[in-house]
Structure 1
Amino acid sequence: MFPYWRLSAYYFFYFGFIGAFSPYFTLYLQSLRFSATDIAILMSLMQGMRMLAPNLWGWLADRLGVPVLIVRLSAFASLAGFSIFFLTESFAGVFVGMALMAFFWSAALPLIEGVTFAHLGSQGNRYGSIRAWGSVGFVVAVLGIGYGLDHLPIASVLWMTALVLGGILFCALWLPDAPRALVRRDGGASLGETLRRPEVRALLGACFFMSAAHGALYVFYSIYLVDYGYGKALVGWMWTLGVVAEIAVFLFMPRLLRRFTLRAILLFAFAAAVLRFVLIGWGVGSLPVLVFAQLLHGATFGAYHGAAIAAVNLWFPGKLQSRGQALYGSVSFGAGGMLGGLSSGLTWDGIGPAWTYTMGSLFALAGLLWLVYGWRPGRELQGRANEGE
């Protein structure tokens, strides 16, 4: 029987952690009197570890054939690393805790994506309905903690986030193993041959720039709104609005994939990102503008991620699945996210938030151009043909 609810529950808590951590942990760091540069460095450790850890853990999972066991180890070690935040408020101590947590936490997502697609088999178009539960978890966490922080001290975000990490650990212990025949099947192109395909390089390069474009959003969006005078509950609703749009896109993704090519969906998502970050940077004084910009999250993450991961699943089949997912995560969320986070920390106090978000739009534009000229139309159809041979 297909383990729909066990996989969905894992996604619920995994992305619930992001809903607890990304919007509010920066506010906690700000309460410790860390500078914008310090905050950017600490938050960029999450992306930095995504460059190293997913490839290491993906290689290990492929060698040993035990992706679920590594997911369980990741959940336990992530909670242990996060516990360091309860023991210290120094920059060095928080740095160590963040590095340990990020190293193990970033191992899980590429592996769980591979496990999910292994269970789905030929029903890959059902991925969106499972991944949507991750977005629901994000909404529950971001709204619940947002309202809670209007009445509780900011340090309480540590306890609330630790509870979500505990939920990840519980669900990881409950996860079923992937069908070994699907995980370990041989045949097809090698990793090197796959990476030499121009459309694969264009996708990975564009994903690098898309994550860089989101850097200022994930590091400074909550601080930006609170400093402008918006309440923490409203901040939670703004994050929620974007994720609701993301959920809608995930649920409609099977229809979109039947009607449009992966390339067309990605081009639209990148164009939306160019517009979105300009609107956030220069329209912070207008709530309707911010609302519209957040609705674009459905395109800049929902449609983008759904199409990108479908392409990765298509071009990195069988024994390449774990490494393909890890490569996608490390190049985009890792290297790209680190560039976006660090660069926004360096420019936030220098050229200001508006120009920092404009820089994000330029990153998205670079990714859009790489896709336009690097991925010729119809290349995903060739990938399907190769996979079926």
Structure 2
Amino acid sequence: MPLATRIKLSLMMFLEFFIWGSWFVTMGTFLGYNLQATGAQTSAAFSTQSFGAIIAPFVIGLIADRYFNAEKILGLLHLAGAALMYMMYISDSFQLFYPAVFLYMILFMPTLALVNSVSFRQLNDPEKEFAPIRVWGTIGWISAGLVISYLFHWDSSEGMSQGLLRNTFLMASLASLALGIFSFSLPKTPPRAEKGQQVSIWNIMGLDALKLLKDRNYLVFFISSILICIPLAFYYQNANPFLAEIGVSDPTGKMTIGQVSEALFLLLLPMFFKRFGFKATLLVGMIAWALRYTLFAFGDAEGGLWMLIVGIALHGICYDFFFVSGQIYTDSKADTKIQSAAQGMITLATYGVGMLIGFAIAGQVTDIYLQADGLHDWNSIWLIPAGIAILVVLFFLVLFKNEVLRKKSESQTVKQ
């Protein structure tokens, strides 16, 4: 690959995740402090991610794959996103904020697939060449958190009292504008599907892969994937507001430890996967969810700060060992004709259905444990997702039969 192309793709990934990391991590804190949003309203705002994930396949399958170059659609979506992000920046009530964030996530979620499409079309050996490009996305997310906490101090007690956390949306708007313009200079990525080719809604949503659910092991994994998204939603929605409320300094910056951990454990995953197998890998990932929330429940901003830091650092195990392993498992179970459909189905089930349920529960729980002084009973809040994670562990441990995964070239998996 030419160096200029590699640089362009890396910058595209950096900006894509810099934008997301600029506002998504701190949105819960902003809504509570600046717009006095309830837990239910905050969960509604985060649930827009799920609606975006559900609608995204239609944007990709009906438009990007059939009529227009991927880089052009990427540019247009980010230009429109910049305007919506600015509307979020100037919103002074949740009633004005919510329509903007809803429309924004409908436009943003398809861009996650588009940046991958643009990248893969330029790669000769994706297995080797994609990771060094994709890692710039993680660096972008980390950079956004460091900028918020350590450069501008928007999430400090003083910054939040002055309403400076609102500036995260302005920063994301400017970055989205930059990526929107930059996208038109990316390598041309024309659609591959023929314009007259018939395609069904069933195909677009990846539902051709439903036949995988006839396999008992995969059905257990599929249900576990949806259920584990409930604890995941608690982290996305409540972690930053929790750290800010109990007085942890530079909470957004500290949360970038999770992304550093994610990158490191992604490198360790193949070794662990090969040595201990799929079932053990997923169990470790799910147990890590229960452990991190237990640490959150009993940690504090002083003597228990180490517990909070360890809980954040467990993000790499929580995410990589379950979700990335799940993608590998899904790929191994699906034959070549439905591999793409299978990935679409598991994404729809987790980020769509699972997270939608999770955010709704997290919002209700957060409201229930709101105290008279305006603070939350975080010990009780965090023990609930910890308990849910333990139940998912037991469900998976008992019902999933250990199996050895075959390579793609081998059509069947062999049970031990």
TM band (smaller chain): 0.7 to 0.9
CA pair 56-208 structure 1, distance change in 2 beyond 3 A: same
- Per-residue CA shift, 1:64-84, capped at 9, x if unaligned? 286825544443333333232
- Is the alpha carbon distance of 1:191 and 1:4 closer, same or farther for their aligned partners in structure 2, counting shifts above 3 Å? farther
Maintained 8 Å contact 1:47/1:338? yes
Root-mean-square deviation over aligned CA pairs: 3.3
The answer to whether the Cα contact below 8 Å between 1:239 and 1:294 also exists between their aligned partners in 2 is: yes
Pairing 1:23–2:25 present: yes
Does residue 1:96 correspond to 2:96, yes or no? Answer: no
The answer to whether structure 1 residue 278 and structure 2 residue 290 are counterparts is: no
* AA of the residue aligned to 2:320: G
Matched residue type, 1:88: S
Identity %: 19
Mark the CA change 1:66 to 1:167 in structure 2 (over 3 Å): closer, same or farther: same
Q: 1:317 to 1:85 in 2, by over 3 A?
A: farther
Aligned twin of 1:353:
378
Among 317, 321, 325, the residue aligned to 2:343: 325
- Asked whether 1:49 is paired with 2:52, we answer yes
In the alignment, residue 240 of structure 2 is paired with which amino acid?
S
Q: Please, which of 201, 208, 211 is the counterpart of residue 226 of structure 2?
A: 208
Change (3 A) 1:154 1:363: same
In the other structure, the counterpart of 1:252 is: 268
Unaligned runs of 5+ in 1: none
Please report how far the alpha carbon of residue 167 of structure 1 lies from its aligned counterpart in structure 2 after TM superposition: 4.4
Is contact 2:31–2:94 with CA below 8 Å preserved after alignment?
Answer: no
State the 1:6 CA deviation.
4.0
Deviates more, 1:247-256 or 1:336-345: 247-256
Work out which of the residue numbers 137, 155, 158 in structure 1 matches 2:169: 158
Q: What is the number of residues matched between the two proteins?
A: 379
Q: Looking at CA atoms only, which structure, 1 or 2, has the larger radius of gyration?
A: 2
Deviation, structure 1 residue 355 = 2.2
For 2:362 and 2:209, locate their aligned partners in 1 and report how far apart those are by CA, in whole Å: 33
Change (3 A) 1:90 1:323: farther
Post-superposition offset of 1:270: 1.0
323 and 90 in structure 1: CA distance in 2 versus 1, 3 angstrom threshold: farther
Contact 2:88 2:100 in 1 (8 A): yes
- TM (norm. structure 2) is 0.78
- CA-to-aligned-CA distance 1:69-105 (integer Å, 9 cap, x gap): 5544443333333232245323222111011011111
Shift of 1:313: 3.9
Q: 1:160 to 1:338 in 2, by over 3 A?
A: same
TM normalised by structure 1 equals 0.83
Question: 1:270 and 1:79, CA in 2 relative to 1: closer, same or farther beyond 3 A?
Answer: same
The verdict on how the C-alpha distance between 1:317 and 1:344 changes in structure 2, with shifts beyond 3 A counting, is: same
Q: For each residue in 1:300-334, what CA deviation from the matched residue of structure 2 results, as whole angstroms up to 9, or x when unmatched?
A: 01333332233344445656455433333222122
Amino acid at match of 1:53: I
| Structure 2 residue identity aligned to 1:354 | N
Does residue 237 (structure 1) correspond to residue 248 (structure 2)? The answer is no
* Counterpart in the other structure of 1:177: 189
CA spacing shift, 1:67–1:213, aligned 2, 3 Å: farther
8 Å Cα contact 2:233/2:362 also seen in 1: yes
Distance (whole Å) between structure 2 residues aligned to residue 115 and residue 377 of structure 1: 37
Change beyond 3 A, Cα 1:326–1:129: same
> C-alpha separation between the residues in 2 aligned to 1:312 and 1:179?
26
Tell me the CA shift for residue 196 of structure 1: 3.2
- CA separation of 1:166 and 1:207: change in aligned 2, threshold 3 A: farther
- Structure 2 residue aligned with 1:64: 66
Q: In the TM superposition, what whole-angstrom CA distance separates every residue of 1:172-195 from its partner, at most 9, and x where no partner exists?
A: 4425538959xx9xxxx9534334
